[in-house]
Structure 1
Amino acid sequence: MRARRKDYAASLAPSLRIALEGEVARILEPLLFAAKVVAAYQPMKEELSPLPALEMARAMGKTTVLPAFAARDSRMTFHEGDATAAGPWGLLQPPIDSPPLAPDLVLVPLIACDLLGNRIGMGQGHYDRALEGLRGQATLVGIGWDFQLLADTFAADPWDQPLHAFAAPSGLTEFST
């Protein structure tokens, strides 16, 4: 799925990619409107970018946060601000000196998810550990290209945090988690 995601993203003309990511933001608009604090992520090259949705949330007056780490072995937390500081994993993040905020809507990156809301991430467990503390307080929405939602289900590990929904350019699929 990683290779497929990489190949697909590379095949998109920049204008089409921008349009598809804008469509996902439009699809998420009701969830953004209902939220107070919206969390997203700095996308890797092949990931569908949640940044248009984050911009829409800001335009609605919502507080927006991004993941941040104090150190490599620390739990991921969400902080307000632009991704301008170097994080311990080599990615830009908001400055860690601001207090962490608990989002009530989290836009989550993924490799794939199934129709039960089971998510395959990058394998480090950062999101599962961070989302465990938000369970019951936040709506968790996976963000990806349409093909990343799999019809076949897969077994979840006990620590995996299921998603409430999956947003792709073709629409929002809600799960009964």
Structure 2
Amino acid sequence: MTSQNTENAAFKLAKAEVRQAGLTARGSLSPVERIEHSLSIAEFMRDLEVEPGSMVAGFWPIRDEVDPRPLMDALLQQGCSLCLPVVKGDDLVFRRLEKGAEMEPAGFGSMAPGAGADVVNPNVVLVPLSAFDGHCNRIGYGKGFYDRALNGLEKLTNLTAIGVAFAAQEVEEVPMEPHDRKLDGILTERGLLIAKN
């Protein structure tokens, strides 16, 4: 094994350990705590300073993830439009979410509007994650869907990407690769974290 391969293997192991630490911390929260924290997060909606008329991509919670739907509803009440991600091959597309929309499986246990919904390009993306650090570095689930999606959207719009998570998911440091995008902020039940320089 070359030194480059050894470095890559060590880096992947470090990422896997950080991911597991965040998921373990998240999993230790009770269902009631997860609901209460998810509701508390919505109370910080104004701190995001999202312009009315923005197209905001939320996400459908899976497993024991934070539930961003109260936050999404608050943004909707402030005049934003909403969309949800759908897995298409190795990529995400975003379908407009309308009240009463027919929902269907969208990959990995999530739900989204059906194929008849408009495909849109959000300018604000609420990003799920496994773990994050104080510099707003995020680690996802290891498939790179959001890294690719954010990279593509940045070429089309002035993008804001906000991680939404429980405070318990914060770790000391997230190992970052060149293709990993630092988020513009992380919103937890404790409020909005802006990246430290």
| Alignment partners' CA distance in 2, 1:90 and 1:116 | 29
Give the structure, 1 or 2, with the largest relative contact order (CA under 8 Å, sep 6 or more): 2
| Alignment partners' CA distance in 2, 1:83 and 1:20 | 28
Question: Match for residue 176 of structure 2?
Answer: 156
In structure 2, relative to structure 1, the CA distance for the partners of 1:88 and 1:144 (3 Å cut) is closer
In structure 2, relative to structure 1, the CA distance for the partners of 1:51 and 1:156 (3 Å cut) is same
Runs of 4 or more consecutive aligned structure 1 residues displaced over 6 Å after TM superposition: none
User: What is the CA distance between 1:139 and its match in structure 2?
Assistant: 1.1
Q: What amino acid does structure 1 have at the position aligned with 2:93? A: T
Question: Match for residue 67 of structure 2?
Answer: 49
Asked if structure 1 preserves the Cα contact closer than 8 Å seen for 2:85 and 2:106, the reply is: no
Pick the aligned partner of 1:139 from 155, 160, 177: 160
Pick the aligned partner of 1:167 from 184, 187, 192: 187
**Structure 2: gaps of 5 or more residues:** 1-20
User: What is the CA distance between 1:83 and its match in structure 2?
Assistant: 6.7
Question: Match for residue 13 of structure 2?
Answer: none
Q: For residue 53 of structure 1, give the secondary structure of its aligned residue in structure 2.
A: helix
Q: For residue 134 of structure 1, give the secondary structure of its aligned residue in structure 2.
A: helix
Map residues 77-92 of structure 1 onto 2, 5 A cutoff: 77-81=93-97, 82=101, 84-92=103-111
| Alignment partners' CA distance in 1, 2:194 and 2:56 | 18
The alignment's C-alpha RMSD in Å is 2.1
Q: Calculate percent identity across the aligned residue pairs.
A: 28
Q: Deviations over 1:6-50 (max 9, x none)?
A: 122xx242xx54332121111122426425111110001311111
| Alignment partners' CA distance in 2, 1:27 and 1:58 | 14
Asked if structure 2 preserves the Cα contact closer than 8 Å seen for 1:32 and 1:38, the reply is: no
User: What is the CA distance between 1:114 and its match in structure 2?
Assistant: 1.3
Q: For residue 119 of structure 2, give the secondary structure of its aligned residue in structure 1.
A: coil
Q: Deviations over 1:64-110 (max 9, x none)?
A: 010013x4x24101111247122354432222343321212111111
Asked if structure 2 preserves the Cα contact closer than 8 Å seen for 1:43 and 1:50, the reply is: yes
| Alignment partners' CA distance in 2, 1:95 and 1:21 | 26
Pick the aligned partner of 2:122 from 103, 108, 118: 103
| Alignment partners' CA distance in 2, 1:25 and 1:43 | 15
Q: TM-score, normalised by structure 1?
A: 0.85
Q: TM-score, normalised by structure 2?
A: 0.77
**Structure 1: gaps of 5 or more residues:** none
Q: For residue 87 of structure 1, give the secondary structure of its aligned residue in structure 2.
A: strand
